[in-house]
A and B are shown apart, each in its own frame.
Chain A
Amino acid sequence: MDVVSNVVYPVAGLLGLYAFVSLASLVWEGIDRKLVARMQRRIGPPILQPVYDFLKLASKETIIPNTANYMFRAAPVLSLATAIALLAYTPMGFTPILASKGDVIVFIYLLTLISFFKMLGSISSGNPYAKIGAAREVALMVSREPAMMLAIFTIMWRIGKLGVDKPFSMGTFYQHNIWEIGTPMSFVGALILLYVFAVWLASEIEAGFFNIPEAEEEIAEGTLVEYSGRYLALLKLTKAIKAFIAASLVVAIFFPWGISGYFGLTGLSANIADLLFHTLKVFAVLFVVQSVFRAVTGRLKITQAVDFLWKNVFLASLIGSLLIAMEVIM
């Protein structure tokens, strides 16, 4: 019994989530491409195009450059594995499968580890374009994460003050949320942090301003330049899943409301209903941050992006966090 509830259910849940999220995230990519095409008065590909792309890439011959070392082949697998592991800690409309006290650090760690593995894989190809892409990726990563971390820790700390059973866990968002604090100051702070998280999400999925490490036209796909066949398929899938996960975080923090309560659902059906509703919200967030943002803006230079993230976003994060923390500190 103990084994069943501690091992079998979580594993089954994780596998189910993985199957669902891979499909949903690829479908979202199709929708995204369609929407951007419509915004530019094109018809665009069919909705399921990313799925076809994935299958086609997976069936193609994989070419390994002769300057590559073992990490070139290991990195796509490792980054997808990390993304799958991360699903167990991601809030998806309900408390994450492996939620425990302090798991926000695991969440942030695994999310950065995906980028780290991707970067390691791309420098392992030995291609200078890939190296430039990796260097940009690191610069961007180092600049974007502090703003997010400051914001998320503040929010979790503030929510913890409202009384939750596992402080600093990704499950706390479903017990209390940031809007419940209710004072005008915290409301303004939350809006500022929403802005911070939107920019963070855009830079995490490298949309619009932040399409820098992969910059197709400029450095020939950067980090992905040498990848082909199966490995490219894995990396594309990882990227899609990561976009879903990162957007899930934003949704969980700012729009955590579920619908199962309104229909009186319980147990598994409630989880499924919440998951579907959560997916809708993720799509909505990604529509604003990814589709619109990438359709209406171009790419920044890497120095501009770093400047923007530190001088604008981090500052906003600081102000928002202080506003939210204010009435507790004083």
Chain B
Amino acid sequence: MNGEIILPYLIIVPLFGAFSMPIVSLAGRKAREAWAVLVSGITFIVGSAIFYAVYENGPILYTLGAKNPFGQGAGFPIRIVWEVDLLSALMVLMVTFVAFLAVLYSIGYMRHDTGLDKYYTLVIILELGMLGIAITGDLFNFYVFLEIMSIASYALVAFRNDTWEGIEAGIKYMFVGSVASSFVLLGIALLYGQYGTLTMGYLAIKLAQNPTVVAKVALAFFIAGLLFKSGASPVHMWLADAHPAAPSSISAMLSGLVIKIGGVYALARILFSIYGASVSMKTVGWIIIIFACITLIIGNAMAVIQEDMKRLLAYSSVGQIGYILLGLGIGLAGYGTKAGEIAIAGAVYHTFNHALMKALLFLIAGAVIHELGTRNLNELSGLAKTMPKTTFAFLIGAAAIIGMPPLNGFASKWLIYESSATFNQVLATIAIIGTAFCTAAYVRVLYTFFGRPSEKVMKAKDPEASMLWPVVILALAIIIMGLFPWQISDKIMIPVARTLENQLGYVATLMGGA
């Protein structure tokens, strides 16, 4: 299978699907839902095919508008390129998978809402933006996709505009997110002014040849903007409002995908592939590590005291982002060492795992809200009596996120613990403390769910098939991935870590030996 031929369809399919949605909606509700599922399903197939192609044949370089990125007589890339290496391909797989399940879930979950043609359009646009971020090799193209993703998520957070909290969270998210985006744009403008190119790989060359103060200022803007987007402390406050207020299918995508693609992935790409050779990895790594430690503790500790189920999950997302950033930071600070490589592999692995787990947990939260109309944990006592399948899936998800051995969260967290313990014991201690808080938070929820059934809970039942199946599929994915942790780690995650560390390879793919 030739990856370069199918790569454009990763953008074409959702773009066409989103733009045709208003027309398809004229045919009625069923057609609209079928169209949304079809479009995201095809995108998932394309995404899997691309992952397979990249895994088998190495990175794909795709130039828009010509055979290669170089103009006539020009020795440098002048066109927009898409560059898909193993990390991008893994992100593509993750995004298309979770987005497909979220769309499937929306059929049942969004049944009572109005304006669904806009909803499905926005969801697919959101997916499109994330896919674009993952595959692009051009810095401005990256910004455009980042904004597509962000604006779609602002609109989706505030989708239920008849509730006060939807509007409030939407406004908060929008203001904060716009500031963060403008930081990123400012960084790009500075780099463009200094180096005159926007292609990531070529920019890496120019940066290495002539590292300037401007580049460092731009880097500071990038880190600041992207930490905002990933919900790292101390700038996580928008997340704790936005994720609970959004419809649950959207929270699953926001928490599972948006904060990772728009935050962590972009950060990793910019730090490793663009700045890899031109700044002190150690310094940048320690900056990320410091934020990671704050995020770990604050996110997980705040999760313990929440009474709102979705807010608890949102804070837990912040905490888990802390682990991913910790892995990333150690990967930078320990660049070239064994610990560094394991840390990146752990971070990438945890990104993927957490996307599955948090999507699962948010979908379950959605099912509970759908059945009972409340998110207050104090009212949800004894839910296991009337929603057995849902609570069992929650048990799986919670155990996975804590990192219990037969599930997928164990291996990824283990890699992060192991690398942080070899890198610096204090960091390992902080990571363990974070997990202790995380365990407390989820055990508390389980304690509620399996307790004595309250009056309110007795009316509930397991959700319908279209809401149950995504939950079941995610739970199965978590269990199956948990059975082969080290195989996945050796065959996929370690190679991904090596690709990310190999900046020369990234540049060479772009320049194609030219």
| Residues of A near any B CB (own CB < 8 A) | 67-71, 106, 109, 120, 123-124, 126-128, 131, 134, 138
Chain A: CB-nearest residue to B392: A70
Q: Is the CB of B405 within 8 A of A123?
A: no
Give, as a whole number of angstroms, the nearest-CB distance from A325 to chain B.
14
Q: Is the CB of A128 within 8 A of B452?
A: yes
A138 and B452 CA atoms in complex are apart in Å by: 18
Chain A contacts for B385, CB-based, 8 A: 67-69, 126
Q: Is the CB of B452 within 8 A of A126?
A: yes
Indicate if B382 sits at the interface (CB-CB under 8 A): yes
A69 and B453 CA atoms in complex are apart in Å by: 9
Indicate if B450 sits at the interface (CB-CB under 8 A): yes
- Can you list 25 residue pairs at the A/B interface with Cβ under 8 Å? A68-B385, A69-B382, A69-B384, A69-B385, A69-B388, A69-B391, A69-B453, A70-B384, A70-B392, A71-B384, A71-B450, A109-B405, A120-B446, A120-B450, A123-B447, A123-B450, A124-B384, A124-B450, A124-B451, A126-B451, A126-B452, A126-B453, A127-B452, A134-B447, A138-B443
Chain A contacts for B447, CB-based, 8 A: 123, 134
Interchain Cβ contacts within 8 Å, total number:
39
Chain A contacts for B453, CB-based, 8 A: 67, 69, 126
A127 and B450 CA atoms in complex are apart in Å by: 11
| Those 3 A-B pairs whose CB atoms lie nearest each other, nearest first | A69-B384, A126-B452, A69-B385
Q: Is the CB of B405 within 8 A of A106?
A: yes
Chain A contacts for B388, CB-based, 8 A: 69-70
Chain A contacts for B452, CB-based, 8 A: 67, 126-128, 131
Chain A: CB-nearest residue to B450: A124
Give, as a whole number of angstroms, the nearest-CB distance from A232 to chain B.
19
Q: Mark B20-56, 1 if CB is under 8 A from A, else 0.
A: 0000000000000000000000000000000000000
Q: Is the CB of A69 within 8 A of B450?
A: yes
A138 and B384 CA atoms in complex are apart in Å by: 20
Chain B: CB-nearest residue to A135: B447
**Contact count band on B:** 10 to 19
Given contacts A67-B453, A109-B404, A123-B451, 13 further A-B contacts (CB under 8 A): A67-B382, A67-B452, A69-B382, A69-B385, A69-B388, A69-B391, A71-B384, A106-B405, A126-B451, A126-B452, A126-B453, A131-B452, A138-B443
Give, as a whole number of angstroms, the nearest-CB distance from B302 to chain A.
20
Chain A: CB-nearest residue to B383: A69
Interface residues of B in 413-453 (CB under 8 A from A): 443, 446-447, 450-453
A287 and B447 CA atoms in complex are apart in Å by: 35
Interface residues of B in 353-404 (CB under 8 A from A): 382, 384-385, 388, 391-392, 404
A262 and B447 CA atoms in complex are apart in Å by: 53
Interface centre among A68, A69, A124, A138 (most CB of B within 10 A): A69
Give, as a whole number of angstroms, the nearest-CB distance from A120 to chain B.
6
A71 and B389 CA atoms in complex are apart in Å by: 11
Chain B contacts for A128, CB-based, 8 A: 452
Chain A: CB-nearest residue to B447: A123
A69 and B454 CA atoms in complex are apart in Å by: 13
A126 and B446 CA atoms in complex are apart in Å by: 13
A275 and B95 CA atoms in complex are apart in Å by: 54
Chain A contacts for B451, CB-based, 8 A: 123-124, 126, 131
Chain A: CB-nearest residue to B453: A67
Chain A: CB-nearest residue to B446: A120
A123 and B447 CA atoms in complex are apart in Å by: 7
Give, as a whole number of angstroms, the nearest-CB distance from B6 to chain A.
41
Give, as a whole number of angstroms, the nearest-CB distance from B364 to chain A.
16
Chain A: CB-nearest residue to B381: A126
Give, as a whole number of angstroms, the nearest-CB distance from A314 to chain B.
15
Chain A contacts for B446, CB-based, 8 A: 120
Chain A contacts for B450, CB-based, 8 A: 69, 71, 120, 123-124
A160 and B306 CA atoms in complex are apart in Å by: 43
A127 and B453 CA atoms in complex are apart in Å by: 10
Interface residues of B in 477-499 (CB under 8 A from A): none
Chain A contacts for B443, CB-based, 8 A: 138
Chain A: CB-nearest residue to B448: A123
A126 and B449 CA atoms in complex are apart in Å by: 11
Chain B contacts for A138, CB-based, 8 A: 443
A134 and B450 CA atoms in complex are apart in Å by: 12
Interface residues of B in 144-196 (CB under 8 A from A): none
Chain B: CB-nearest residue to A131: B451
Chain B: CB-nearest residue to A125: B452
Chain B contacts for A124, CB-based, 8 A: 384, 450-451
Chain B contacts for A134, CB-based, 8 A: 447
Give, as a whole number of angstroms, the nearest-CB distance from A122 to chain B.
9
Give, as a whole number of angstroms, the nearest-CB distance from B371 to chain A.
15
Interface centre among B404, B405, B447, B451 (most CB of A within 10 A): B451
Give, as a whole number of angstroms, the nearest-CB distance from A201 to chain B.
24
Q: Is the CB of B382 within 8 A of A126?
A: yes
Give, as a whole number of angstroms, the nearest-CB distance from B309 to chain A.
18
Chain A contacts for B384, CB-based, 8 A: 69-71, 124
A138 and B450 CA atoms in complex are apart in Å by: 15
Chain A: CB-nearest residue to B414: A105
Give, as a whole number of angstroms, the nearest-CB distance from B40 to chain A.
33
Give, as a whole number of angstroms, the nearest-CB distance from A39 to chain B.
39
A128 and B453 CA atoms in complex are apart in Å by: 12
Chain B contacts for A123, CB-based, 8 A: 447, 450-451
Interface residues of B in 451-467 (CB under 8 A from A): 451-453
Chain B: CB-nearest residue to A74: B392
Chain B contacts for A120, CB-based, 8 A: 446, 450
Give, as a whole number of angstroms, the nearest-CB distance from A140 to chain B.
15
Chain B contacts for A106, CB-based, 8 A: 405
A73 and B451 CA atoms in complex are apart in Å by: 14
Give, as a whole number of angstroms, the nearest-CB distance from A191 to chain B.
28
Chain A contacts for B404, CB-based, 8 A: 109
Chain B: CB-nearest residue to A71: B450
A128 and B452 CA atoms in complex are apart in Å by: 8
A124 and B451 CA atoms in complex are apart in Å by: 5
